[in-house]
Amino acid sequence: MTRKMVTIDGNDAAAYIAHKTNEICAIYPITPSSNMGELADAFSAQGRKNIWGTIPTVEEMQSEGGAAGAVHGALQTGALTTTFTASQGLLLMIPNMYKIAGELTSTVFHVSARSLAAQALSIFGDHSDVMATRATGWGMLAANSVQEVMDCALIAQSATLQTRVPFIHFFDGFRTSHEVMKIEQLDDDDIRGMIDDEWVIAHRNRGMNPNHPVLRGTAQNPDVYFQGRETVNPYYEAAPELVQRTMDRFAKIAGRKYNLFDYVGAEDAERVIIIMGSGAETVEETVTQMIADGEKVGMVKIRLFRPFSIKHFISALPASVKKIAVMDRTKEPGGAGEPMYQDVLTAFAEAKTEDYYQFDDMPTIVGGRYGLSSKEFTPGMIKGVYDNLNNEKPKNHFTIGINDDVSFTSLDYDANYRTSKGKVFRGLFYGLGSDGTVGANKNSIKIIGEGTENFAQGYFVYDSKKSGSTTTSHLRFGKDEIKSTYLIDQANFIACHQYELLEQFDILDKAEEGATFLLNSHLNKDEVWGGLSRKYQKQIIDKKLKFYVIDAVTVARETGMGMRINTIMQTCFFAISGILPKDESIAKIKEAIFKTYGKKGDAVVEKNYTAVDQSVSNLFEVNVPDTMTGSDALRLIVPEAAPEFVQKVTAEIIAGRGDDLPVSAMPNDGTWPTATTQWEKRNIALEVPVWEPDICIQCNKCAMVCPHAAIRPKIAGEDAFKDSPETVKHVNAKGKEWETGSQYILQVAVEDCTGCNLCVEICPARDKSNLSRKAINMADQRPLREAERANWDFFMELPEVDRAAPKHTTVKGSQLLQPLFEFSGACVGCGETPYVKLTSQLFGDRMIIANATGCSSIYGGNLPTTPWATNKEGRGPTWNNSLFEDNAEFGLGYRLTIDKHLEHAKELMILLKDDIGNELVTSIANASQANEPEIFEQRMRVKQMTDIVEKLDSPLGRQLLSVADNLVKKSVWIMGGDGWAYDIGYGGLDHVLASGKNVNILVLDTEVYSNTGGQKSKSTPLGAVAKFAAAGKPSGKKDLGMMAMSYKNVYVASVAMGSNDAQTVRAFMEAEAYEGPSLIIAYSQCIAHGIDMAKGMDQQKLAVESAYWTLYRYNPMLAIEGKNPLTLDSKPPKRHVKEYAMNETRFTILSRIDPKLSEKYIEASDVAAKEKYDYYAKLAAISYDEA
Amino acid sequence: MRLSTNYMGLELKNPLVPSASPLTEKLDKIKILEENGASAVVLFSLFEEQIEQEDSSIEHFMDYGTDSYAESLSFFPKAHEYVSGPQDYLENLRKIKEGVDIPIIASLNGATPGGWMQYAKKIQEAGADGLELNIHYLPVDFNETSADVEKRYTDIVSWVKSNVDIPVAVKIGSRFSSLPAMAKALEGVGADALVMFNRFYHPDIDLEKLETKRQIHLSHSRDIRLPMRWISILRGNVKLNFAASGGVHSAKDVLKLIMSGADVTMLTSALMAYGPELIKTIEADLITWMDENEYQSISQMKGSMSLIHSPKPQTLVRDNYMRTLLDFQANNKF
């Protein structure tokens, strides 16, 4: 029987089986497992049924803890239930996992294994998360490749029903979860063949039912708990054999044979590696090569890690084994060794007296760590591990793949060692996230995988920034199964889809001799050589590359494709790679285009077809000369002025050489310097704003809305401009507060700008003779780059505006304050960062931030460079990200420390008052710090005090010095998105609001989980399409502000900068000034809304004008003064919600899917919006007069 | 008394046809028009821009930001196949055809020869009885001559006519150097009827916001004079049918236009203002007038006052113009 071949990724493979074999999926998004839940939801939305003929229910929960609870409940009532998760999400499930196992309940959790946040968060793959659950009593089955994911998902499902042991089925995050592979798809009969109905019925019958009531979850006492715990032993003892039988049954059905422990290698192997997960594939590839080279090596793939069968494990090894390296993809600091290493040791020690023990001497066993956070694991490294075993005393507790110059754990290895590649196509494609390179490559894999006999593999590497990000696609095709689970380091095809990237990377360093190089270039086939630097010319000549060029940008423009060059580059790839005959490949591309766009209209299809045809006729081979003509400009990665750490560490990461950094280069406790984005000049904007001083009214709105702090005003005396660069522009400052002759300058950081256009859109000043010309207009970046770089440096050297001069409560004034959040990696046109930046301007020099995991923690803290900055005194926000779910509590912890240390500092001052002076102590202790000048004075007083105390050199004095900083007011900010505030962190947020403590909470409300890709939250509005709300969210948005107001002592503000920026600034000032908890809910546009991001502020305006979003401030201080605490800042609605909603794809898409429902939702939203407005208006109108 | 009229081969029970507007967008509204006596309906327009751009724009926003960052490889669910605007139009057309008995004339609005014209075929496949090709073009290219502009019209009509079998009416504006020559040219490439005229919604300026603002003004009865004039000039000289559009508010308007040579009269503004029941009223008034004036049928009066029935057409045109101005001068009291 031939089964369908599909090209899918690991998540897809797991979701396919999970959906076929379950009735309920309770899920919560977390990278890299989110796609599994999304796919399950999509399958159900498409009406796909499980093998018993019913469509599984998919329920998104508020957290992984919630998902685990829902799963537990569904299991306890007899439904076949699953979930998908990873990393911290899995940790949140642990309490329920103990329960589920303790109750001998059958279920499979599918886990794309990911690093745990320790010294830092990482979204990438290793086994830290699954290893943290190994004590829960769950079976643990590892899949090493995409095919194995599909197979093992089913084996696990079958096994759990038979054994009554719940299973974690896991595979490596990203490497397997996101690797696209051509695999054989199991069909319904295969699946049915693996699951007997009687097991399912038995599972249901174990469910709770009032018709035959039972009681579970008792509380047991010392007398019986222990015995109760031991009742399950027979199930665990029986499980391994049952799993093996399940694997055997699977082999009969599908033909692929698995064992609990699979040995691969020489029969007389002396050196053996024990490994689990995707790394095993590369070990197998290496073993094959080494055996061919005459070495006696072998390997064991651990598939069933729990329950660990010592007998099966020992029996799997050949008797010839002398030395063993156990490879753990996790770290247990302080342990006797990593988990697998310990189990292997235990196995040998325990088996020694058993009859199946086949060894004369106990082999030497060492353990090593590899591949944390998806660190590469290559044949060279594996060879290094085998070489270590050749030593008489092999290094134990080693690491491989890094340079550990601190504890010297790392093994040396030959980075140039390669396995034979055979006739495998290995292509590297460099592109931008925005140019569709990845999408086109996924499509190519499908075409080749499904249209030819070739095996196909695709893996994609993304940038750490959300704007202007680059992508690298690694594609392998070949007649034999592909085992290489590592990046391509020797390519026979390299495509550079963006000319600019030539400068950024060494595009050709991985090209092998005779490889083909395809370049998208604005220079034609005769000019392109002259444009290349010497570095490239040399490689092309030396490596005898075949060099092709196409001007894809022009072809795209002329064929109406706009900026989308992906189809064009894909066509060129097929035309020259020779993987398929040219005509056949073009036909297949067109077929794929029709599949994608067919339903969306002929015009789109036609346009794409034309682009394909034009690509071929515009593709040229370049005649490569023998001589080099180019030069190599020495390009500094960061300027010489950057601090030493940035030069030595950050710059290396920026340059893509982070893998080469030794352990000693890393901070040992996760502490990194701030203010580093200023050193990374990304030059990603094609167009940047240019200022016209004669038109400008100096309102500073442009600076206010800029998401990246790339347009800034300053006011300085005329003298300061004496030696300014030639093209620096300035003009007389408007406003009475400035001395005559003061100059206003508005400077753009063209190398940091992302070209989002928000500033131009918001600019209210226009040329009276040409209304299309504003005070700022977009212009090409390149011609401006050099001059503006010098202008920016000059601008930064100008003194900052005296903070006492501008009115902080106004937009104009606030924007003259230095932003201490700059040049983040946030999306182009991000709606969140303008608020974040505003807080840094107003309170940055005394700000301490707790940031929930999400977009803001990524653009706020993702390496290589981070945006939180410092002022010239070296002060600035200090920032940390604890977790997703605990951010409010984390921030409250800051407050508790500050309050405690403040109290203690006062106590110590009193004890030392004779030395310090009574007057100074009193003035410090009783100081009002209501505004910046007062805070400044307090800082001076505290300085005066600490100067005295330092001289004392006494134990009490030293105590006081360590807490004295807290005598100056600090500003605690708790920030995060709506996924945190409305869902996973709501319980904590609520508690912190109720605590009455002085913290400021900023909710960056995008109404969707933005960072994980648009899943619905409880902030998602009625009728919006989001993941898990594919048919529009049927319920409305939670009124978080109203809930907070019910406490009466919480300051609450709802703001939308694009509608009323002055109200935004007022709200931030009031919130911070309020001595209790404050909550600001900030409307933030997001690409997940499906809008033109340049119009983000216009959307905010429409949102408020239609009452979709209400502006208000609830200030408990007013109530104390006997006034109504609620101020409604929105004007009465003057638009239908439709006028706002129909500009956003999240709403319009529903009108295409289900127009009637869409209309109903929009009407209902409008009614709800107006009702809400009326309600708030009435509340705000209540008279609080005593009379 | 026979109110029936033949328009592009379609036998219509009266000359009262609601033209493309929000009233002709959905089946329920069209049913009401039918119940009130509309003899046919021109469906709301499908625009070239919708066909050419809207799909790619939805596509654009669905795709925007995807495959760029490892955690958010997409932003929208994959669950549903959405229906594009043009597809929706065809689906809607099918439903309307099933739901009513009167002929349905679909409307395709564009100005640049291109892929959107393919939709003429799809419209025919979806069951439209006729097609109104609304060519709304405002030249802003200073190198484009009047001949180029005219060719644009004939190219579009020619392509559409050679690809569909249903009758095709062409809705045009009144500003051509020689409307008769244009009419002849359109007849030459196969047009079955002219719809006269398209209205140009010239934008206004918002002095407060300093931007242009769009506004639609409903027509008045006096607006019928422009189509009346031109239909009367063209009638009989070309074999085209004529639909008068713009200003039809009463039976009198209908009568005047029919006498000038219109085969049907199109209604929009009046229906927007007075509701679909107006059709009934106009129909009753028509009968009363014809009764009182002893007319047997609409066809009897069709073109009875067109220019070909005037003894010296050319003289009359200038003469009328001159007399109008002279009268105005004579009556001017200032």
**For the segment A1085-1108, what is each residue's pLDDT rounded down to a tens digit?**
999 999 999 999 999 999 999 999
Section A97-105 average pLDDT: 98
Section A1117-1125 average pLDDT: 96
Cα–Cα distance measured from residue A653 to residue A646, given in angstroms and rounded to the nearest whole number = 10
Question: What confidence category does residue A1036 fall into, taking pLDDT thresholds of 50, 70 and 90?
Answer: very high
Residue B54 pLDDT more than 60? no
Is A1146 tagged catalytic? no
Residue B55 pLDDT more than 60? no
Cα dihedral B290, B293, B294, B297 sign: negative
A209 and A70 within one domain: yes
Question: What confidence category does residue B56 fall into, taking pLDDT thresholds of 50, 70 and 90?
Answer: low
**For the segment A1039-1048, what is each residue's pLDDT rounded down to a tens digit?**
999 999 999 9
**For the segment B233-246, what is each residue's pLDDT rounded down to a tens digit?**
999 999 999 999 99
A300 and A165 within one domain: no
Q: Which residue in chain B has the smallest CA separation from A441?
A: B67
A233 and A156 within one domain: yes
CB contact under 8 A, B71 and A601: no
Q: Choose from A1009, A1016, A1152, A1158 for mutation: most chain B CBs within 10 A.
A: A1152
CB contact under 8 A, A597 and B59: yes
Give the helix/strand (H/E) hosting A734: none
Q: Which residue in chain B has the smallest CA separation from A769?
A: B210
**For the segment A499-531, what is each residue's pLDDT rounded down to a tens digit?**
989 988 899 999 999 999 999 999 999 999 999
Region class of A641: left (phi > 0), else alpha (psi between -120 and 50), else beta: alpha
Residue A601 pLDDT more than 80? no
Question: What confidence category does residue A1081 fall into, taking pLDDT thresholds of 50, 70 and 90?
Answer: very high
Beta strand segments in chain B, E: 5-7, 10-12, 16-18, 41-47, 104-110, 130-135, 168-172, 193-196, 204-206, 211-213, 241-245, 264-267
A1041 and A945 within one domain: no
Chain A CB contacts of B71 below 8 Å = 31-32, 34, 123, 858, 1011-1013
Q: What is the pLDDT of residue A606?
A: 82
Q: Which residues contact A1115 (CB under 8 A, 6 or more apart)?
A: A1051, A1070, A1074, A1125, A1127
Question: What confidence category does residue A1186 fall into, taking pLDDT thresholds of 50, 70 and 90?
Answer: low
Q: What single string gives the DSSP state of each residue in B208-253?
A: TTTEEE-------GGGGHHHHHHHHHHBTTBS-EEEEES---SHHH
Chain B CB contacts of A460 below 8 Å = 67
Greater model confidence, B244 or B201: B244
Section A870-895 average pLDDT: 97
CB contact under 8 A, A42 and B78: yes
Give the helix/strand (H/E) hosting A477: strand A470-478
Domain annotation covers residue A870:
no
Select the residue of B51, B77, B84 nearest A38 (Cβ to Cβ): B77
Roughly what angle, to the nearest 10 degrees, separates helices A146-163 and A233-254? 130
Longest dimension (CA), chain A: 99
Section B193-209 average pLDDT: 88
Q: Residue A94: which of A72, A61, A122, A75 has the closest Cα? A: A72
A811 and A746 within one domain: yes
Is A114 tagged catalytic? yes
Cα–Cα distance measured from residue A32 to residue A11, given in angstroms and rounded to the nearest whole number = 9
Query: What is the percent of chain B where pLDDT is above 90?
Result: 66
Q: Which residue in chain B has the smallest CA separation from A33?
A: B71
Q: Given A383, A400, A417, which residue is the final one in a domain?
A: A400
Instruction: State how many domains chain A has.
Output: 6
Q: What is the pLDDT of residue B334?
A: 60
Q: What is the pLDDT of residue B79?
A: 57
CB < 8 Å from B in window 413-452 of A: 432-434, 436-439, 442
Chain B CB contacts of A1101 below 8 Å = none
**Every domain of chain B and the residues it spans:** 5-306
Q: Residue A985: which of A796, A1158, A853, A816 has the closest Cα? A: A853
A685 and A601 within one domain: no
Select the residue of B66, B70, B119 nearest A123 (Cβ to Cβ): B70
Q: What is the pLDDT of residue B316?
A: 62
Question: What confidence category does residue A600 fall into, taking pLDDT thresholds of 50, 70 and 90?
Answer: low
Mean per-residue pLDDT over chain A, rounded? 96
Cα–Cα distance measured from residue A498 to residue A163, given in angstroms and rounded to the nearest whole number = 54
A519 and A458 within one domain: yes
Section A136-142 average pLDDT: 98
Chain A CB contacts of B123 below 8 Å = none
Is residue A175 within 8 Å of A278, Cβ to Cβ? yes
CB contact under 8 A, A462 and B81: no
Q: What is the pLDDT of residue A374?
A: 97
Q: What is the pLDDT of residue A597?
A: 75
Q: Residue B244: which of B267, B275, B220 has the closest Cα? A: B267
**For the segment A1130-1143, what is each residue's pLDDT rounded down to a tens digit?**
999 999 999 999 99
Lowest mean pLDDT among A768-777, A1143-1152, A1178-1187, B87-96: A1178-1187
Q: Which residues contact A782 (CB under 8 A, 6 or more apart)?
A: none
Domain annotation covers residue A856:
no
Give the helix/strand (H/E) hosting A168: strand A167-172
Calculate how close chain A gets to B57, using CA atoms only, in Å.
Answer: 9
Select the residue of A178, A433, A442 nearest B69 (Cβ to Cβ): A433
Q: Which residues contact A1102 (CB under 8 A, 6 or more apart)?
A: A1108, A1135, A1139, A1140, A1143
A377 and A265 within one domain: yes
- Cis ω before B276 (30° cut-off from 0): no
Residue A201 pLDDT more than 60? yes
A302 is in which domain, residue-wise? 259-400
- β-bridge mates for residue A511, sequence order: A491
Section B100-113 average pLDDT: 93
Q: Residue A14: which of A2, A1, A27 has the closest Cα? A: A27
Section B188-192 average pLDDT: 96
A390 and A438 within one domain: no
CB contact under 8 A, B77 and A1026: yes
Domain annotation covers residue A611:
yes
Section A1052-1074 average pLDDT: 97
Q: Residue A84: which of A10, A189, A134 has the closest Cα? A: A10
A511 and A440 within one domain: yes
Cα–Cα distance measured from residue B326 to residue B322, given in angstroms and rounded to the nearest whole number = 6
CB < 8 Å from B in window 809-828 of A: 827
Q: Choose from B26, B72, B74 for mutation: most chain A CBs within 10 A.
A: B72
CB contact under 8 A, B71 and A827: no
Is A403 tagged catalytic? no
Does the beta carbon of A610 lie under 8 angstroms from any beta carbon of chain B?
no
Domain annotation covers residue A632:
no
Structure-block tokens of residue A711: 């347009």
Is residue B310 within 8 Å of B320, Cβ to Cβ? no
Residue A402 pLDDT more than 60? yes
A114, A206, A426, A803: the active-site residue: A114
Here the CATH number for the domain that contains residue A446 is: 3.40.920.10
Q: Choose from A1149, A1151, A1154 for mutation: most chain B CBs within 10 A.
A: A1149
CB contact under 8 A, A471 and B67: yes
A276 and A192 within one domain: no
Section A699-714 average pLDDT: 98
Region class of A788: left (phi > 0), else alpha (psi between -120 and 50), else beta: alpha
Here the CATH number for the domain that contains residue A379 is: 3.40.50.920
A1155 and A1095 within one domain: yes
Start-end of H helices in B275-312: 277-292, 298-301
Q: What is the pLDDT of residue A1187?
A: 46
Cα–Cα distance measured from residue A267 to residue A280, given in angstroms and rounded to the nearest whole number = 18
Is residue A276 within 8 Å of A142, Cβ to Cβ? yes
3-state secondary structure of A1157: helix
**For the segment A971-996, what is each residue's pLDDT rounded down to a tens digit?**
999 999 999 999 999 999 999 999 99
Q: Given A355, A385, A400, which residue is the final one in a domain?
A: A400
Section A1069-1096 average pLDDT: 97
**For the segment A538-547, what is each residue's pLDDT rounded down to a tens digit?**
999 999 999 9
Chain A CB contacts of B119 below 8 Å = 602
Q: What is the pLDDT of residue B81?
A: 67
Does the beta carbon of A695 lie under 8 angstroms from any beta carbon of chain B?
no
A23, A64, A285, A338: the active-site residue: A64
Residue A406 pLDDT more than 90? yes
Structure-block tokens of residue A401: 């793949």
Q: Which residue in chain B has the smallest CA separation from A466?
A: B69
Q: Given A802, A817, A832, which residue is the final one in a domain?
A: A817
Is A1075 tagged catalytic? no
Q: What is the pLDDT of residue B80?
A: 64
Q: What is the pLDDT of residue A1106?
A: 98
- Homologous superfamily of domain range B5-306: Aldolase class I (3.20.20.70)
Q: Residue A1002: which of A835, A817, A824, A821 has the closest Cα? A: A835
Residue B315 pLDDT more than 70? no
Q: What is the pLDDT of residue A976?
A: 98
- β-bridge mates for residue A1126, sequence order: A1114
